């Protein structure tokens, strides 16, 4: 039966109306998505107003939601993401970021198995598929230490899905234990001049070097350590990278190692060497007895640099675990323990009277977290004056420059409260920067936690510049554009939020100071409210 023409016309009109309504609905949904998506998806803000608000919780440092965070592991950049793996009780915790500031927590990546715990290590992008794991495409390979029954060996795992899932190599361990007690923390990188993978691994109080064509078969090539630097305790978490000297552009290799808990340095510490590397072994440019400390505070350990940052970026970036093996998991933070430092850009600088030294500066991405600045003009500070009176903060950055005058000491006090303060003091006569946490807050969890730390610091062009990052329980000091760095954790009362600039027994010129409240990377909130 044929439909009348007018009914066909009505059906056609109805169909057009339905299509228009559907299109309007889709447009409405899209517009609503745009309204909802005010916060960039990359930032991963948690909608809960109480997320990461526990007592002592840092607001712009990476810390675990629960459980332990210690050594940074497997730091690598791949397909728009920075991967931050870390030790979590013998397994690899995992977080990713697009900007090194806002982090998304992911499930455990590399877990315990029949070969034992998955201890510290590194990760690389196998761009040329030298392993054969990726069908000719690039993929991620993690290199880590297995630990079982007191025996340490090196193993690998690989991922074809941007680090979301990992497959352990069936031929593990790729380097069985060579009958030594301490054999751990492999750092691997591609050495272009020799067209080979290089592994540097800790062996008691030295490091060994290995070469490989495919990350599976390894050959021992040399060692470094005996007679050089500090041997106060076992060497751990080595790194090796090439940096240009700022003044000349000449490139030097930098070897870094962390040193375990010991009485000489009153806890764990970290040191570095500057020299040459030929793909097989390292040669130190400085006198063997000279000790170059990475950080003059107590809480910067196991720092490792990110692998495979694009050449057009041009930076070498690392971060460290903010703790000390004197008190690794005894901090009064409840269900979570430990956090990372802020990421830092590494440079080499020829410092007059000292030589070529490693420089650390906070990455520029941190500037995006700044709230409205409060600026203070040039002025003379005498005893009893405090230009920062009325400024309150628990998570902030402050940049200052001083010209020493007659004062015996000058500096800044942060996290001030009733019977609490953390003091950063410069003494011109000694040319020393002192970080004093003897009255910084809770310290009963560790005998000796309430202590002072010192760093040598010469004025630069007659001036002393201090850049501080305070984030609840964390304090990081960058003096004279990163020439001296001090890192420490503190546990003040949450209401201890005062700041004070001071001078003792004389005057100091404050050339400038800028205070920035810092926004949380975990929640969308106004930083000027913290």
Catalytic residues, by residue number, are: 71
As beta bridge partners, residue 454 has 434
What pairs with residue 468 in β-bridges?
A: 398, 477
Secondary structure (3-state) at 3: coil
Sign, CA torsion 224/317/519/390: positive
Contacts of residue 442, defined as CB under 8 A and 6 or more positions apart, other chains included, come to 332, 491, 492
Kind and range of the H or E element at 31?
A: helix 5-36
**Cα–Cα distance between 360 and 292 in angstroms, integer?**
14
Which is nearest to 145 in space by CA: 201, 100, 195? 201
Bridge partners of 360, per DSSP, are 346
Q: Do 492 and 481 form a contact (C-beta atoms < 8 A)?
A: no
Got the DSSP string for 267-309? S-EEEEEEEEE-SS-EEESS-TT--EES-SSS--EEEEEPB--
What are residue 319's DSSP bridge partners?
Answer: 304
Rounded-to-integer distance, Cα 338 and Cα 394, Å: 18
d(CA 181, CA 105): 34
Dihedral sign for Cα 371, 373, 374, 376, please.
positive
Residue 25's SS3 state is helix
Residue 252 corresponds to which tokens in the numbers above?
Answer: 């030097």
Which DSSP helix (H) or strand (E) runs through 27?
helix 5-36
Residues 6+ apart with CB under 8 A from 426: 402, 404, 409, 410, 411, 432, 433, 434, 457, 464, 466
CB of 164 closer than 8 Å to CB of 106: yes
Q: How far apart are CA 204 and CA 235, in angstroms?
A: 6
Strands 336-337 and 67-68: parallel
CA distance 386 to 263: 38
Which whole-number Å values give the CA distances from 187 to 202, 303, 447, 490, in the listed order?
Answer: 9, 11, 34, 31
The answer to whether 500 and 386 are in contact (CB under 8 A) is yes
Encoded tokens for 74: 């497997």
**25-29 CB contacts, 8 Å cutoff, 24+ apart:** none
User: CA 92, 344, 122 angle in degrees (round to 5)?
Assistant: 30
């Amino acid at each position: 039966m044929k439909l009348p023409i007018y009914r066909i016309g009505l059906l056609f009109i109805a169909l057009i109306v339905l299509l228009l309504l559907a299109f309007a609905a889709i447009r409405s949904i899209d517009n609503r998505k745009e309204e909802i998506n005010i916060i960039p998806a990359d930032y991963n803000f948690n909608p809960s107003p109480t997320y990461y608000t526990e007592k002592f919780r840092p607001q712009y440092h990476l810390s675990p939601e629960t459980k332990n965070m210690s050594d940074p592991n497997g730091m690598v950049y791949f397909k728009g993401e920075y991967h931050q793996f870390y030790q979590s009780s013998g397994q690899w915790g995992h977080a990713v970021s697009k900007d090194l500031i806002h982090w998304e927590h992911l499930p455990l990546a590399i877990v315990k198995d029949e070969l034992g715990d998955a201890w510290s290590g590194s990760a690389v992008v196998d761009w040329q598929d030298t392993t054969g794991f990726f069908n000719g495409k690039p993929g991620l390979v993690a290199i880590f230490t297995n630990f079982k029954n007191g025996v340490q060996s090196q193993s690998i795992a690989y991922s074809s899905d941007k680090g979301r899932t990992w497959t352990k190599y069936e031929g593990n361990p790729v380097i069985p234990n060579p009958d030594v007690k301490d054999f751990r923390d492999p750092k691997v990188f591609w050495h272009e001049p020799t067209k080979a993978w290089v592994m540097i691994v800790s062996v008691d109080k030295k490091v060994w070097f290995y070469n490989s064509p495919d990350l599976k078969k390894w050959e021992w090539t040399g060692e470094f350590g005996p007679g050089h630097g500090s041997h106060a305790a076992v060497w751990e978490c080595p790194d090796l990278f090439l940096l240009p000297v700022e003044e000349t552009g000449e490139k030097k290799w930098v070897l870094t190692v962390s040193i375990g808990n010991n009485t000489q340095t009153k806890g764990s510490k970290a040191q570095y060497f500057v020299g040459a590397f030929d793909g097989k072994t390292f040669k130190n440019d400085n006198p063997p007895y000279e000790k170059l400390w990475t950080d003059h505070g107590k809480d910067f350990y196991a720092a490792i640099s990110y692998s495979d940052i694009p050449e057009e970026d041009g930076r070498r970036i690392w971060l460290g675990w903010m703790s000390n093996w004197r008190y690794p998991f005894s901090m009064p933070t409840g269900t979570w323990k430990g956090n990372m430092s802020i990421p830092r850009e590494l440079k080499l600088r020829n410092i007059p009277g000292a030589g070529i030294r490693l420089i650390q500066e906070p990455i520029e991405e941190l500037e995006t977290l700044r709230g409205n600045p409060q600026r203070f003009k040039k002025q003379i500070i005498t005893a009893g004056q405090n230009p920062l009176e009325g400024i309150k903060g628990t998570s902030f950055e402050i940049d200052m420059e001083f010209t020493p005058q007659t004062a015996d000491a000058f500096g800044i006090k942060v996290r001030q409260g009733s019977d609490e303060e953390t003091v950063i003091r410069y003494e011109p006569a000694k040319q020393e920067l002192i970080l004093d946490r003897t009255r910084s807050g809770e310290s009963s969890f560790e005998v000796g936690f309430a202590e002072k730390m010192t760093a040598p610091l010469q004025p630069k062009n007659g001036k002393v510049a201090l850049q501080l990052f305070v984030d609840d329980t964390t304090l990081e000091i960058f003096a004279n554009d990163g020439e001296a760095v001090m890192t420490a954790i503190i546990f003040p009362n949450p209401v201890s939020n005062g700041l004070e600039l001071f001078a003792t027994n004389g005057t100091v010129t404050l050339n400038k100071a800028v205070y920035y409240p810092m926004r949380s990377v975990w929640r969308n909130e106004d930083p000027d409210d913290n």
